[in-house]
Chain A
């Protein structure tokens, strides 16, 4: 998005050349981990908040909810953390609208009734959920027009590809979606629960199996530098009784450390050959320092925790830590194969040539190389070309960005479901109009 702009800001681009016509629409991209909102036509969402929310059970007034980065991470006695999303789609319809309203009104606008709203949804969203979304938009938010776009299609648009094979590596799922002319091909849409949350659990399993203590930032008052592998010398925070954080909040804080671990240490084995079993020989080591100062060098382990994506049978399993069934879960290669298998032969080569890799999970170090290798193994004949934005912001927010592009196009404005149409036909109209 940092491309050179030759037009001065005072001059409007030629309307038909640019194709845009901004009507100040809002775009909301609710994901499993993050909820993104912003104005259509912009290149990054203005509001990015965690999909997780905090709540405190307070006697008569009912629950008190906390949304947004600051409130969710604040240490409040008795505040539980929960997520209204499950498996990438809305599971808790009491909280999700509040979360969305917070995302839209906290910074963007106070009058939702003045802005058309585009919401993205995953391909596997249920018809009931879609109707409910329309209901929320028109009745709770009172928007003048609404549209429900598929996030995979939007991710394709963000890369400028209306026909593509979109590989979206999100928090809850890895989904592979063939799209043709901006329409999702349902038969070829597959997903597997091996996303970012799965990697987090793999890391937890690895730590638990090897007795590596996982600390979080909130616990540490002060710390001393220690040698690699030596026990931490840190003063931990003491909580008065009744002011201790809840278990869910603690887990949420640990998750942040795991995210850091995923960003700096975890790596995908790009091949050739199998993942090295042990040690640091030939692959080097990477040091990771936990919040309490305890630090370790990770060698082959850093590849082992991500290998489950490609070979579910090799996933790490330890105790109570949740994991998908290693026998029945489809690995990455198999998933891409079955996605392409169920697509019309005419467009198979075309979509493979336009493979879009997106989602924050795709930022795992070395993942693109591995995907390239896997795809070449699965499809030796046709040419496979990956498109993955080099800009990590764009990669994380691709579906929002595509929605932003879509909702700012002049030719899109005939597709909005207007309030009048909703009142005439009821929520069923989204099934008919947003295919």
Chain B
């Protein structure tokens, strides 16, 4: 076991080894040899020098906990609740602490109540109503205070002699009173933002609340048939929407596949028997991909058919205009797929169309597109060298090639013109010489 030295090496600790105490190996051996309970001596001897890792469970009692210091006693303490108006003293057990005198009862903070306004005699003048007497209004406000504006309870306990009120009536009156009192105490223009929020909250629409409650009641009182019908309609709707989505998905897929890029190349090369064989080879090479796509195409397309073949009552109303819609969509789809490129775009993307292309790859510089052949060619070359332009372009792009061609043709035209001029001048010279001879004879 050289673990100890290894650790020293890893930690890069060097120094005299003598000072470091080494655990005596003999002792360690002894502890390993210790026979655990439950194994006989003979059996343990069979295990040899490397006993298997046997979990030794020693049955020992839990250690006695060490208490820190003295136990803090609990005292039967009187307390008063500030939430109460009387001086009721109750007792409870409390941990003995130094300052119990000035502590406030912890639960008194839960004593919260709602502020319900009380209209004064003057303020009530604005609240006068034929339906509500002053006494009934006061009763309403007091019951609202008693039940902390729990409207369900207020309505349940509302018991004013000779009146049966709906919940929305009670609410309307209460909020009306609150609103009016707020207005009277602080004019709307002078309200702080918080007050204004509270003020706006008191804007209670009785009619709307009534309708809402009636609707809730209707919803609650649905009969079993109505529920079943509703459930059925919901599942039907879910199914229809699901089908439609699936159909759109498949249709999109089909359109994508129908829209192959339109080939503008000629089919001349495939016309011979050899060409056809070549075409077949090419198709076969692409077959793997096609196969996969075909299988996808076959699956969902049958799904579409079944989906369309099971019309439902709800969908039947929509069926009349369904095909028309479909067509329209198809057209737009196609239009999108074969967009015509503008000239600029063609230039930008380097798209060019050719009448005929020879197979194979060629360098543009080796392509000889000029129509001028023979002696003129050499003459043109001569003219170009005269101008300092190399006969072969160093950078052949479509544009430079086009310019080159243009230049060549122009040079050719100029050369033609010069030739014509030379010819005419020659003729003119000859004629002039003849004229001079005739004048001499005539003179």
A-to-B contact residues, CB < 8 Å: 12, 15-16, 19, 21-24, 116, 144-145, 180-181, 183, 185-188, 343-349, 380-382, 409-411, 413-414, 416, 418, 420-421, 435
Smallest Cβ distance from B206 to chain A, in angstroms? 16
Smallest Cβ distance from A124 to chain B, in angstroms? 15
Would B111 and A414 count as touching, CB distance under 8 A?
yes
Would B222 and A413 count as touching, CB distance under 8 A?
no
Would A343 and B88 count as touching, CB distance under 8 A?
no
Would B221 and A185 count as touching, CB distance under 8 A?
no
**Can you list 14 A-B pairs with a CB-CB distance of less than 8 A?**
A21-B92, A144-B88, A145-B88, A181-B153, A183-B147, A183-B153, A344-B167, A345-B216, A381-B219, A381-B220, A410-B105, A410-B107, A413-B90, A414-B107
**A contact residues around B227 at 8 Å (CB):** 380-381
Instruction: Out of A24, A144, A145, A345, name the residue touching B217 (CB < 8 Å).
Output: A345
**B contact residues around A411 at 8 Å (CB):** 107, 110-111
Residue of A nearest to B111 (CB): A414
Interface string of B180-224 (1 = CB under 8 A from A): 000000000000000000000000000000000100110111111
Would B88 and A16 count as touching, CB distance under 8 A?
no
Would A15 and B146 count as touching, CB distance under 8 A?
no
- Cα distance, A16 to B106, chains bound together (Å): 8
Smallest Cβ distance from B176 to chain A, in angstroms? 20
Would B153 and A180 count as touching, CB distance under 8 A?
yes
**A contact residues around B217 at 8 Å (CB):** 345
Instruction: Out of A12, A349, A420, A421, name the residue touching B220 (CB < 8 Å).
Output: A349
Q: Is B124 an interface residue (CB 8 A)?
A: no
**A contact residues around B155 at 8 Å (CB):** 344
**Which B residues, 150 to 196, have Cβ-Cβ distances below 8 Å to chain A?**
150-153, 155-157, 167
**Most B-side CB within 10 Å, residue of A15, A116, A344:** A344
Instruction: Out of A15, A19, A188, A414, name the residue touching B81 (CB < 8 Å).
Output: A414
Would A382 and B220 count as touching, CB distance under 8 A?
yes
**B contact residues around A380 at 8 Å (CB):** 222-224, 227
B-to-A contact residues, CB < 8 Å: 81, 83-84, 86-93, 95, 105-108, 110-111, 146-147, 150-153, 155-157, 167, 213, 216-217, 219-224, 227
Would A345 and B86 count as touching, CB distance under 8 A?
no
Closest 4 CB pairs of A and B: A410-B107, A344-B152, A414-B83, A418-B88
A414 with B150, Cβ < 8 A, contacts A145-B90, A382-B220 known: no
**B contact residues around A382 at 8 Å (CB):** 220
Would B84 and A345 count as touching, CB distance under 8 A?
no
A sample of 16 more A-B contacts (CB under 8 A), given A145-B90, A346-B216, A382-B220, is A24-B92, A181-B150, A183-B147, A183-B150, A185-B152, A188-B156, A343-B152, A344-B155, A346-B213, A349-B220, A381-B220, A410-B110, A411-B111, A413-B107, A421-B86, A435-B146
- Cα distance, A183 to B222, chains bound together (Å): 28
**Most A-side CB within 10 Å, residue of B84, B91, B151, B156:** B156
Instruction: Out of A23, A185, A345, name the residue touching B92 (CB < 8 Å).
Output: A23
**A contact residues around B88 at 8 Å (CB):** 144-145, 416, 418, 420
Would B220 and A116 count as touching, CB distance under 8 A?
no
Would B86 and A418 count as touching, CB distance under 8 A?
yes
- Cα distance, A150 to B5, chains bound together (Å): 80
**A contact residues around B108 at 8 Å (CB):** 414
- Cα distance, A21 to B92, chains bound together (Å): 7
- Cα distance, A146 to B249, chains bound together (Å): 73
Would B91 and A23 count as touching, CB distance under 8 A?
yes
Residue of A nearest to B76 (CB): A24
**B contact residues around A381 at 8 Å (CB):** 219-222, 227
- Cα distance, A409 to B92, chains bound together (Å): 12
Residue of B nearest to A413 (CB): B81
A410 with B106, Cβ < 8 A, contacts A23-B92, A435-B146 known: yes
Would A345 and B213 count as touching, CB distance under 8 A?
yes
**A contact residues around B220 at 8 Å (CB):** 345, 348-349, 381-382
Residue of A nearest to B148 (CB): A181
**B contact residues around A416 at 8 Å (CB):** 88, 90
**Most A-side CB within 10 Å, residue of B83, B95, B105, B220:** B220
**B contact residues around A421 at 8 Å (CB):** 86
- Cα distance, A59 to B8, chains bound together (Å): 105
**A contact residues around B156 at 8 Å (CB):** 180, 185-188, 343-344
Smallest Cβ distance from B114 to chain A, in angstroms? 13
Would A185 and B153 count as touching, CB distance under 8 A?
yes
- Cα distance, A188 to B167, chains bound together (Å): 15
**A contact residues around B152 at 8 Å (CB):** 180, 185, 343-344, 346-347
Residue of A nearest to B106 (CB): A15
- Cα distance, A186 to B90, chains bound together (Å): 32
**B contact residues around A345 at 8 Å (CB):** 213, 216-217, 220
Would B107 and A186 count as touching, CB distance under 8 A?
no
Residue of B nearest to A351 (CB): B152
- Cα distance, A196 to B322, chains bound together (Å): 67
Residue of B nearest to A409 (CB): B107
Smallest Cβ distance from A303 to chain B, in angstroms? 25
**A contact residues around B106 at 8 Å (CB):** 15-16, 21, 410
- Cα distance, A338 to B9, chains bound together (Å): 88
**B contact residues around A24 at 8 Å (CB):** 91-92
Would B86 and A420 count as touching, CB distance under 8 A?
yes
A22 with B90, Cβ < 8 A, contacts A346-B152, A381-B221 known: no
Smallest Cβ distance from A403 to chain B, in angstroms? 17
Smallest Cβ distance from A252 to chain B, in angstroms? 40
- Cα distance, A145 to B90, chains bound together (Å): 9
Smallest Cβ distance from B251 to chain A, in angstroms? 40
**B contact residues around A413 at 8 Å (CB):** 81, 84, 90, 107
Residue of B nearest to A189 (CB): B156
